[in-house]
Amino acid sequence: MSLMERKLDFETYDCNGCHSLPLHSKKLKSVAFSTKIFCDPVHGQISVHPACVAIIDTPQFQRLRYIKQTGFLEYVYPGATHNRFSHSLGVCHLAGKFIQELRDHQPELLISDTDVLCVQLAGLCHDLGHGPFSHTWERYIHMATLEKNVDTVWRHEIVSINMLDYLIEDNNLLPQLKKFGIGSKEINLIKEFIQGSQPRDGSRAFLYQIVNNDDSGLDVDKWDYFLRDCHYLGLPCSFEYERLIQFAKVFMVDGKSQICFRDKVLESVYNVFRTRSNLHRLAYQHKVCLITERMFLDAFFIADGKCTGPTGEVLHFWEWSMAAALSQGEALKKALEHYCTLTDSVIFFCLKYASQPEVKKAADIVKAIEKRSSKLNGFYQHVGLQILPYFVPEADIVNGFCQLLPAANERVLSSFVSSGAVETNVDPVNSDDICISVAPVNWGKGDKNPVDSVHFYSKDSVFTYQSSSLGYVSAMLPKSFQEIQIHVLCRRSDNYAFQVARWCFENYWDSSTMKNTHSLKNGCHL
């Protein structure tokens, strides 16, 4: 055997350029899938378990290549073209790294190989249920559900666990997974990790805090997307996840085993939540991103159930998404099959090249986005931003603007006519020409300090830092952990409509106007 042939026995390459390494244990040599090494731009060379490779190499998981991580943020940050596929690999890697660190330093936890693999698989599969354009799709489903008066909450995590079952059955993976100790019981456990469920056995609660930690918000899903989004957006990322992992330890707190962090990494914990806030303020809530998202949301409403996909089948955005979460049996399989066809590119090109007359307005919206620098091209205008320390319901603002619109039209029209800017027959601005976006920006726990929910340990005890003791930590920490950003947009491109909307915006914040809107009951919709 030549040297080259001997080398290929140990290392081969797949069609994606990933290293394939054979497993050395006798138990795993009979398995068709091998360990793979992926070159990740954030974490470097990462090793992926064969059971994870079996999941990755399926059409349902490969679909995540076509779901962008940050929706429409690439219209502001051109580098933000990364997808849910690479994020899922990153979460899988961090999940394995975290639980292995706990296993190495606390053998008394009795973490088994199967536990490690279940946590890794949960990290890998946690986003299987995301719809096109990620969280924008969730907002669309929420808005459409309210419009249809359906009392149901749609969450992509529910679709993720349904998709996991469908993926395993459709690709006949259960025999392969069983060779690694993953049976029906372990699959149910993986689904609980994905959902962030509360464990039945308190002694194993820490396993539920690695991928989706609903208790403190410190989990590897957030760590990876903070790191990955900052990397692709070109923004600084100041927290050190390696340091957090190294100083993590499991203690029994309030009757269940919980992941606690050494008191010396308190500043690193604050930096995690501070990074989240910075990303929202600098990127996710950028006004151009919000405008683009709102325009696509309007296009979704127009095209849902009217435009056709690549196969010629009519695409039902809301119906298929709801069915993918709520159906059962054969109906669920059909719903998930339909749902898998919904990706960023499919939706975008179906909207852009829609030929049906009833969908033409959606196509015009997409064209306006692509020509946003041209004046009067249909790109929505940003009227103003108001930042409040307290929450104001969107319906109250909508009603307040509806109340002000008649006076605003009269005053602005009079001003424009007297200056010769417009003729008297200009179309008045109505409630459909204005839309409101209410966006809370916080550190992850509403108006609360998220660090209050994190458990720390010292050489002597386990404890939590409470907000009342912030002076002990630093005198420069914020006193408030949430702000409410209220963006007002105008769907019309003409200056007259902008000035009417601006007049409403400036006058609404008068306290008497805001007070009156709480008692209004009209049905205006912005």
134 sits in which H/E element = none
Largest distance between two CA atoms of the chain: 93
Assess contact for 244 and 261: CB atoms under 8 A.
yes
Give pLDDT, residue 28.
38
Q: For 485, list phi and psi in degrees, rounded to 5.
A: -95, 120
Give pLDDT, residue 355.
85
How many other C-beta atoms lie within 10 A of the C-beta of residue 510?
12
Tell me whether residue 293 is in a domain. no
Q: Supply the CATH number for residue 54's domain.
A: 1.10.3210.10
SS3 category, 522 = coil
Query: If we measure between CA atoms, which residue out of 72, 60, 232, 197 comes closest to residue 130?
Result: 60
Tell me whether residue 111 is in a domain. yes
Assess contact for 518 and 396: CB atoms under 8 A.
yes
Q: What tokens does 473 get?
A: 């930590």
Q: Supply the CATH number for residue 396's domain.
A: 3.30.70
Tell me whether residue 421 is in a domain. yes
For the chain, how big is the Rg over CA atoms in Å?
26
Tell me: do 168 and 62 sit in the same domain: yes
Residue range(s) defining the domain that contains residue 404? 381-468+481-513
CA distance 517 to 175: 61
Tell me whether residue 29 is in a domain. no
Give me the mean pLDDT over the 302-327 stretch: 96
Tell me: do 206 and 95 sit in the same domain: yes
Q: What tokens does 209 get?
A: 């805090």
Q: What's the N-to-C CA distance of the chain in angstroms?
A: 74
- Among 156, 280, 338, 487, the one annotated catalytic: 156
Tell me: do 138 and 252 sit in the same domain: yes
Q: What tokens does 344 get?
A: 């960023």
Tell me whether residue 393 is in a domain. yes
Tell me whether residue 370 is in a domain. no
Assess contact for 126 and 91: CB atoms under 8 A.
yes
> Mean pLDDT for the chain?
89
- Number of domains observed in the structure of the chain: 2
Give pLDDT, residue 470.
52
Tell me whether residue 273 is in a domain. yes
Of the residues 286, 315, 331, which one is the last residue of a structural domain?
Answer: 286
Among 281-295, 344-358, 461-475, the least confident range: 461-475
Of the residues 235, 252, 286, which one is the last residue of a structural domain?
Answer: 286
- pLDDT (tens digit per residue) in 153-197: 999 999 999 999 999 999 999 999 999 999 999 999 999 999 988
- pLDDT (tens digit per residue) in 413-467: 999 888 887 766 789 999 999 999 999 999 999 999 999 999 999 988 887 776 5
Sequence-distant (≥ 6) Cβ neighbours of residue 421 within 8 angstroms: 415, 495, 496
Q: For 40, list phi and psi in degrees, rounded to 5.
A: -100, 135
Query: If we measure between CA atoms, which residue out of 281, 102, 63 comes closest to residue 205?
Result: 102
Of the residues 236, 258, 286, which one is the last residue of a structural domain?
Answer: 286
Sequence-distant (≥ 6) Cβ neighbours of residue 524 within 8 angstroms: 398, 399, 401, 402, 431
Tell me whether residue 372 is in a domain. no
Query: If we measure between CA atoms, which residue out of 130, 525, 80 comes closest to residue 347?
Result: 130
Tell me: do 76 and 183 sit in the same domain: yes
195 sits in which H/E element = helix 184-195
Q: What tokens does 18 get?
A: 């990933």
Active-site residue, 156 included: yes
